[in-house]
Amino acid sequence: MSLEAHIPSGPLSQKWSNHKQDSKLINPANKRKYTVIVVGSGLAGSSAAATLSELGYNVKCFCFQDSPRRAHSIAAQGGINAAKNYQNDGDSTYRLFYDTIKGGDFRAREANVYRLAEVSANIIDQCVAQGVPLAREYGGLLANRSFGGAQVSRTFYARGQTGQQLLLGAYSALSKEIARGGVQMFSRTEMLDLVLVDGQAKGIVVRDLVTGKISSHAGDTVLLCTGGYGNVFYLSTNAKGCNTTAIWRAHRKGALFANPCYTQIHPTCIPVSGDYQSKLTLMSESLRNDGRVWVPKKKDDCGKPPAQIPEDARDYYLERKYPSYGNLAPRDISSRSAKEACDEGRGVGPGGLGVYLDFADAILRYGHDQAADKNISEPELRKLGKAVVAEKYGNLFDMYECITGENGYEQPMRIYPAVHYTMGGLWVDYNLMSNVPGLHVLGEANFSDHGANRLGASALMQGLADGYFVIPTTIANYLASQKPGSVKTDHPAFKEAEAQINGRTKKFIDIKGNRTVDSYHRELGLLMWNECGMARSREGLQKAIDRLPALREDFWNNVRVPGSGADFNQELEKAGRVADFLEFGELMCLDALQREESCGGHFRVEHQYTKEDEAAKRGQAGEALRDDTNYSYVAAWEFTGDVSKPTLHKEPLTYEEVHLAVRSYV
């Protein structure tokens, strides 16, 4: 199989313009004859559904949530990048492009990333026109903040809930098109299979989550905008419903899965408090601007209250290991260092899985800055300093207290890394079409733009870029070759898929085993976290690969799904998702195993810079050691019928403009 990415010719900066010129068009009178199926209603799905409807296509949009407005894009906090250069600080399309491709550790496709940077400015225009209340300055113009991995201020934001505001903007556009009759919305409806007719994606089979009814929807093309697979780890910052079922089902029907091992683990999350933990909550990493990260030097001190651990018994390990970046070391490095400290038995809090994030010094420092009288008492200084810290980070301290019951001003907060985002996804070409003709994949569900690591404030940008500006142009390249409405749901392929789904549902219900779905999901999550999490080794990955088939078999023999398939049954919903995660997990480990290098979020302990490398100025000890000679490719996996034996295809990554460099933070 050859992977043809269909990158347009010409210089990087003109590829998208050229492509738009060369793309096919469909006559307005004909557009309405085409039906586009959109699965997912987050930023990518809602924006695509609304925009395609505006263009005249007949759109059907599906989401498993009770309203399209609740898709998990809503939880994004920080902001959205755009190369507007409103701050006049030297930003440009090229800089945003370069920062993104470097942040991705040179494992993303150059032309896609450039296009992302190019359309970023239009996204802001569109959102403001929709009434999204982005933050403003007193002069009435838009405000910006800076974010990780960039030296310019290009991030637009709406308090701490940029995701909600952008999603509500896209949802309002969707509502407008529902009102006009261009979009038919199906909420509480989950896609359970993709239907191919003559090798082309022509429809889906869905389950009405309220009535349990299985039905088919035919279309001329299918768009999967179904988000990432972070919940394979069970515990993540994803919403509980986030799942891989849509893209995994498509993978099983022939769509290649690209770079599944690329996952992002965020360093500043609230640690697990017990075995009942259901999800993890992220706190903005801006906390590391002022907080100092430490663990006790000696294991014996871990049980003591932090105040009783004297200064010289504390290990400020980030400051020790990365003196120039200190507590602001990049996400992947900070996360791994926390894991190392805990693995050494020096973690704090329940289960020993936590490190301290301490504001005591910052409070005193700000107190000194504020104090007019240099002789004031320490309690007074603390009071002054606390006010400054509260102004900068008050909402985060409140959130921490709400969840842990602890006061971050009085004692150090406890943090631990958590799974946050997945860069891998279904393989797509420049038109966002997978190798299955007619199957398009947008947003986090595809692999295309973030390489091996995503920069902050880029996920929202990609979702909206794909939905508002890319797919509306590129979809015609496929549709123009199709006779509209050629496939109906009476085609045998739909009946066959429905029968399979009904059989699967019956199987779940009939097992009547001894273990709940969650207990399997937790076991899978722990295995994946231990062996395919922040640091991966050949041995550990092999262990997981050996364990997974047995775990799957146990699941299919011993899971208990109460109730029936014919009504509202949340356990049945979860069972289907976990069954798919149990298969997907193995592919993730296989991908991590074959990639004998470290890059971005993929860290193989066998491949890191050593002290000798550092002495020779090749790279910092402990950093990810990339192998550009052998691994500068996209790993795209084909399903072969045997979950344990997928076939690897490689799309070489060629760089016309950028030079590959070591991602250094020394």
Partner 1 sequence: MASNLNLKLKIWRQPSTNAKGTFQDIDANNIPETASFLEMLDIVNQRIMDGGGDPVAFDHDCREGICGTCSMVINGIPHGPRRGTTACQLHMRLFKSGDTIWIEPFRAKAFPVIKDLAVDRSAFDRIMVAGGFISVRTGSAQDANALPISKDDADSAMDAAECIGCGACVATCKNASAMLFVSAKAGQLNSLPQGQPEKHRRVLGMVQAMDKSGFGNCTNQYECEAACPKGISVRWIAKLNRDYALATVHESLLAPAKGKGGGAA
Active site residues: 331
- Residue 54 or 613: which CB sits closer to partner 1? 54
CA 155-425-161 angle, 5° bins: 30
Cβ 150 to partner 1 shortest distance, Å: 19
Query: In the range 394-423, which residues lie near partner 1 by CB under 8 A?
Result: 402-405
Give the residue among 310, 319, 352, 350 at the shortest CA–CA distance from 337.
Answer: 319
| Structure-token pair, residue 17 | 């313009």
Q: Pairing state of beta strands 200-208 and 292-296?
A: unpaired
Which of residues 430 and 469 has its CB atom nearest to partner 1 in the complex?
469
Q: Which of residues 559-578 bind partner 1 (CB under 8 A)?
A: 560, 562-563, 567-568, 570-571
DSSP annotation string for 502-524: HHHHHHHHHH--SEEHHHHHHHH
Tell me which residues in 366-395 interact with partner 1 (CB under 8 A).
none
| Dihedral-angle region of residue 467 (phi above 0 means left; psi in -120 to 50 means alpha; beta otherwise) | alpha
Task: Give yes or no for residue 159 binding partner 1 (CB under 8 A).
Answer: yes
Q: Using CB under 8 A, which of the segments 247-255, 371-379, 514-522, 592-600 binds partner 1? A: 514-522
Q: Computed from CA positions of residues 33, 39, 40, 44, in that sequence, does the dihedral angle turn out positive or negative?
A: negative
Check the CA dihedral 67-73-74-80 and report its sign. negative
The span of 166-174, 196-204, 323-331, 423-431 binding partner 1 (CB under 8 A) equals 166-174
128: left (phi over 0), alpha (psi -120 to 50) or beta: alpha
Point out which span in 168-176, 193-201, 454-462, 627-635 binds partner 1 (CB under 8 A): 168-176
Closest separation between CB of residue 430 and partner 1, Å? 20
The distance of closest approach from Cβ of residue 657 to partner 1 in the complex, given in angstroms and rounded to an integer, is 27
Residue 557: CB atoms within 10 Å: 11
The CA dihedral of 314, 317, 318, 323, to the nearest 10 degrees, is 90
- Give the nearest distance from C-beta 78 to partner 1 in angstroms: 13
| Residue 303 in contact with partner 1, rule: CB under 8 A | no
Residue with smaller CB distance to partner 1, 161 or 530? 161
Q: Looking only at residues 77 through 106 of this chain, which bind partner 1 when binding is defined by CB under 8 A? A: 84, 86
Q: Retrieve residue 509's tokens.
A: 């219900």
Q: x/- binding map, residues 518-557, to partner 1, per CB under 8 A? A: xx--------------------------------------
146's enclosing H/E stretch is none
Q: Does 135 bind partner 1 (CB under 8 A)?
A: yes
Nearer to partner 1, 33 or 560 (CB): 560
The size of the interface with partner 1 (CB under 8 A), counted in residues, is 84
Binding to partner 1 by CB under 8 A, coded x per residue (else -) over 604-643, reads ----------------------------------------
Q: Which stretch binds partner 1 (CB under 8 A): 46-54, 110-118, 415-423, 590-598?
A: 46-54
Please give the Cα distance from 413 to 435 (Å, whole number): 47
Residues of this chain, 199-238, that bind partner 1 according to CB under 8 A = 210, 237
Per-residue burial over 606-631, b if 16 or more Cβ lie within 10 Å, else e, is ebbbeeebeeeeebbebbbbbeeeeb
Between 378 and 391, name the residue whose CB sits nearer to partner 1: 391
Beta-bridge partners for 80: 156
Q: What's the CA gap between 330 and 140, in Å, rounded?
A: 34
Looking at beta carbons only, is 10 or 133 nearer to partner 1? Answer: 133
Give the whole-angstrom CA distance, residue 28 versus residue 337.
Answer: 56
**Contacts of residue 176, Cβ cutoff 8 Å, sequence gap at least 6:** 50
According to CB under 8 A, which one of 23, 30, 153, 161 is a site residue for partner 1?
161
Give the DSSP per-residue string, 85-143: -TT-SS--HHHHHHHHHHHTTT-S-HHHHHHHHHHHHHHHHHHHHTT----B-TTSSBP
**Helix orientation angle between 570-594 and 492-511, rounded to the nearest 10 degrees:** 100
DSSP 3-state percent helix, strand, coil across the chain (nearest 5) = 45, 15, 40
Residue 558 engages partner 1 in binding (rule: CB under 8 A): no
Phi-psi region of 567 (alpha: psi -120 to 50; beta: other; left: phi over 0): beta
- Comparing CB distances to partner 1, the nearer of 28 and 181 is 181
For residue 466, give the 3-state DSSP assignment: helix
By CB under 8 A, is residue 68 in contact with partner 1?
Answer: yes
- Is the Cβ of residue 160 or residue 549 nearer to partner 1 in the bound state? 160
| Interface characters, 245-284, with partner 1 (x: CB under 8 A) | ----------------------------xx-xxxx-xx--
Q: Is 184 in the site for partner 1 (CB under 8 A)?
A: no
Would you count residue 239 as binding partner 1 (CB under 8 A)?
yes
Q: Binder to partner 1 among 36, 38, 83, 124 (CB under 8 A)?
A: 124
Near partner 1 in 338-367, by CB under 8 A: 350
**274 or 379: CB nearest partner 1:** 274
Residue closer to partner 1 by CB (options 125, 380) is 125
Asked if 75 interacts with partner 1 (CB under 8 A), we say yes
Q: How far is the CB of 181 from partner 1 (least distance, A)?
A: 8
- Distance (Å, whole) CA 535 – CA 605: 6
From candidates 8, 219, 230, 241, binder to partner 1 by CB under 8 A:
241
Of residues 458 through 477, those in contact with partner 1 by CB under 8 A are: 468-469, 472
**187, 189, 259, 264: which one contacts partner 1 (CB under 8 A)?**
187
Helix (H) or strand (E) holding 378: helix 378-404
Return d(Cα 45, Cα 189) in angstroms, integer. 14
Q: Is 176 in the site for partner 1 (CB under 8 A)?
A: yes
**CB closer to partner 1, 241 vs 619:** 241
Least distance CB 421 / partner 1 (angstroms): 15
Closest distance of CB 660 from partner 1, Å: 34
Residue 93 near residue 16 (C-beta atoms within 8 A): no
Return d(Cα 520, Cα 421) in angstroms, integer.
22
Q: Is 199 left (phi over 0), alpha (psi -120 to 50) or beta?
A: left
Choose one: 87-95, 104-112, 170-178, 576-584; the region binding partner 1 (CB under 8 A).
Answer: 170-178
Judged by CB under 8 A, the residue of 46, 58, 65, 268 near partner 1 is 65
Nearer to partner 1, 274 or 652 (CB): 274
